[in-house]
Structures are given as C-alpha cells and as structure tokens.
Amino acid sequence: AISPGNSGGGLFNGDGNLIGIVCAKSGSADSEGLSFAIPSNTAMEVAKSLIATGSYNGGTADGSVISTNKAVLGISITELTQEEANKRGFLNGGVYVSKINTKTTEEAGLKVGDRLISVDDNLISVGTDLTDYLATKEPGDKVELAVERSRKMYTFTITLVKNAAIE
C-alpha cells in the first residue's frame, strides 16, 4: 500500500524484486485512487546520468531515451477531471497550461489556464497525447497549438525549445 510519507520508497513485486520507486498518489476522501511509481530501469538510468554528468536530459515515460535534445513547448501542464475543472471555474476537464516556462512560449501568446485542444491537428485529451507527439519533434520545429480560453478558440504557432537538463 502507498501511504502519505512513503513517496520515494521502493515498490516490490511478489518475488521481492524492486520494480519501481513510489512517486505519487491520486485519490479523494471517498476513494482509494491510483498510485504511481517510476519504473526501476528509468530510476537507474537517471541515477547513472546524475552520477556521471550531474544532469539528466529526459526521455519517455517508458524509460527509453529519445534524445538528449528533447523538444518541448516550454510549458507545464496539468490534467483536470470535469469535477476538478468545475471547482477551478473551468467549463471542461482536460489538459491545462499550469505554468509558462520560457519567454518564447509566453511571447507566442499562451497563458496559464489555457485548455489544450490539439497540436498540429492531433487532439489532446490527456498529457501523454501531447508528450508523445512532441517526442517525434526536434528543438526548433514549429507546431500549431489550438487552445480554449474564456470560451473562445485560439491557435498559436510555437517554436519548440530544447529541454533544459534537470540538475
């Protein structure tokens, strides 16, 4: 069981083998919810990179490295259920911009609170729809991002940037 305070601890299978590192739990007062762990092979890859170079330049959720020059939009996102969106004053659940991380993205016109609709005409229903698509791109590529803001649709052309190393 994953309980408050044991984030960062090991996740073991029935044979006692380490299979992951506990990192998050999602739930509410009336449900147990879901628990998440970083796969052990991903944790090992990150640890080796940190020891060798002092930084880690990213990869995919399944632990396979795409490129040390991973392309990103320069935003942080959050997924909201319909209920969570309503509590925050939004009409619809979905993937929202929670933080603008680069001046380039800010200058392109994105704002915190924008709901992501599509990237290059590929619908965004969950965060991995966006990250999986961006994994096929390189820094410097341009993408068209459709967003909903205050019940109006906007389209922005954004130049992807290189993911900064996690140090």
**pLDDT per residue as tens digits for the range 129-153:** 888 888 888 888 999 999 999 889 9
- Own/partner long-range contacts of 123-127 (Cβ < 8 Å, ≥24 apart): 124/94, 124/95, 125/94, 125/95, 126/79, 126/95, 127/77, 127/79, 127/95
Each domain of the chain, given as residue ranges in start order, spans 10-53, 71-162
Q: Does domain 71-162 have CATH number 1.10.3720.10?
A: no
Report which listed range, 1-10, 85-94, 143-152, is most confident: 143-152
pLDDT of amino acid 56: 63
Q: Is pTM, for the whole model, over 0.85?
A: no
**pLDDT per residue as tens digits for the range 36-78:** 778 888 788 778 877 877 766 555 443 444 444 578 888 888 8
